[in-house]
């Protein structure tokens, strides 16, 4: 018995030790630093209370980043899930080579955000613009990445390209777990295809929607890699009379603040990101779970 307890401890130690050292301790340090004047250079760190947080909510660049991150997340949730749901219907239909398509649509997810950011910067700044010029389509002549009004949409489109194939897999697994006889019976009863999708498929897939919405929500909220290499925050725009970067999402705002050695301020922003993420995802999961029961 004593030996068994020793084995228990030995088996748990590596994971728990790494977890405590890498996540738990830095987490509490992080909460503490957000209430200090930490600048990353000096070793002396003084406690300043909630001053950093108070300052945040009067800083236009932070408020702007917060708002566009919410906008970006909402656009992504709709775009990614609509596209991936449609893709999942396609690859579970009776068309030829459906497994080939399923594998193909997933490929963008394998390419990291850093690499695909560069690729899409080239596509949007060169390919689309050149195409617009050669076809004399004026809308395309100016890159979507260079206008404050379109840059978020361009980023969402790229994000959809990256994530749709992954979310599609979740929907496919859900569709395949629904007994085929259910759809067939409805078909025999004369239900049209859209009616079958809306009245049978979607209600039966409620659980998959909860997961997919959660994944798109949290990944969009924390978006950094693709933001860095696609736009690096640009172009410049104005918000409440102050100059801000039009596509600087929250994670990049935190990164840039820390790069400027305003570590405590960056840490306070990160804590706000954390709290917002927890609140929003809790609301989303609760609402979705309630819907699951109703359906």
Residues 96-115 that bind other proteins (CB under 8 A): 96, 101-115
Decide if residue 260 touches other proteins (CB under 8 A).
Answer: no
* Distance of closest approach, residue 248 Cβ to other proteins, in angstroms: 14
Give the range of 59-67, 196-204, 239-247, 275-283 binding other proteins by CB under 8 A: 275-283
Q: How far, in Å, CA of 231 to CA of 68, rounded?
A: 14
Which of 44, 58, 93, 181 touches other proteins (CB under 8 A)? 93
Q: Give the shortest CB-260-to-other proteins separation in angstroms.
A: 13
Q: Which is nearer to other proteins, 112 or 203 (CB)?
A: 112
Which of these ranges, 74-82, 141-149, 196-204, 217-225, lies near other proteins under the rule CB under 8 A?
217-225
The alpha carbon dihedral of 68, 74, 75, 76 has a sign of positive
Considering the rule CB under 8 A, would residue 130 count as an interface residue with other proteins? yes
| 14 binds other proteins per the rule CB under 8 A | yes
What residues from 156 to 195 belong to the interface with other proteins (CB under 8 A)?
A: 161, 165-166, 169-170, 172-173
**Minimum Å distance from CB 214 to other proteins?**
10
- Which residue in 11, 191, 163, 189 sits closest to 81, CA to CA? 163
120 binds other proteins (CB under 8 A): yes
Residue 154 found at the interface with other proteins (CB under 8 A) = no
Taking CB under 8 A as the rule, does residue 201 contact other proteins?
A: no
Nearest Cα residue to 165 out of 66, 239, 83: 83
- Asked whether position 123 contacts other proteins by CB under 8 A, the answer is yes
Determine the Cα angle at 104 with ends 103 and 108, to 5°.
110
Torsion of CA 110, 114, 120, 125, to 10 degrees: -170
Q: How far apart are CA 199 and CA 204, in angstroms?
A: 9
- Window 27 to 86, contacts with other proteins (CB under 8 A): 27, 29-31, 33, 40
Separation between Cα atoms, residue 229 and residue 64, nearest integer Å: 20
Residues facing residue 237 across a β-bridge: 244
**Least distance CB 93 / other proteins (angstroms):** 6
Near other proteins by CB under 8 A: residue from 41, 94, 194, 294: 94
User: Given the complex with other proteins, which of 7 and 241 has the nearer CB atom?
Assistant: 7
């Amino acid at each position: 018995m004593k030996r068994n307890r020793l084995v228990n401890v030995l088996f748990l130690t590596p994971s728990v030790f790494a977890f405590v050292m890498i996540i738990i301790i830095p987490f509490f340090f992080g909460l503490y630093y957000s209430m200090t004047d930490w600048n990353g250079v000096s070793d002396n760190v003084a406690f300043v209370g909630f001053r950093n947080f108070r300052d945040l909510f009067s800083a236009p660049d932070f408020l702007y980043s917060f708002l566009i991150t919410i906008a970006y997340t909402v656009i992504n949730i709709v775009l990614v899930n609509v596209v991936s749901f449609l893709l999942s219907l396609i690859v579970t239909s009776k068309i030829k080579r459906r497994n080939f398509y399923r594998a193909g649509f997933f490929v963008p997810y394998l390419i990291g955000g850093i690499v695909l950011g560069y690729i899409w910067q080239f596509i949007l700044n060169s390919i689309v613009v050149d195409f617009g010029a050669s076809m004399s389509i004026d809308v395309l002549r100016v890159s979507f990445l260079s206008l404050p009004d379109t840059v978020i949409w361009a980023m969402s489109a790229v994000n959809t390209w990256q994530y749709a194939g992954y979310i599609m897999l979740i929907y496919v697994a859900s569709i395949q777990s629904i007994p085929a006889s259910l759809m067939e019976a409805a078909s025999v009863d004369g239900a049209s295809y859209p009616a079958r999708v809306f009245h049978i498929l979607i209600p039966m897939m409620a659980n998959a929607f909860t997961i997919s919405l959660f994944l798109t929500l949290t990944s969009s909220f924390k978006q950094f890699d693709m933001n860095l290499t696609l736009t690096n925050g640009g172009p410049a725009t104005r918000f409440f009379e102050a100059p801000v970067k039009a596509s600087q999402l929250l994670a990049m705002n935190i990164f840039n603040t820390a790069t400027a050695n305003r570590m405590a301020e960056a840490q306070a922003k990160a804590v706000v990101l954390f709290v917002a993420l927890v609140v929003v995802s809790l609301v989303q999961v609760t609402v979705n779970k309630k819907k699951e029961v109703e359906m």
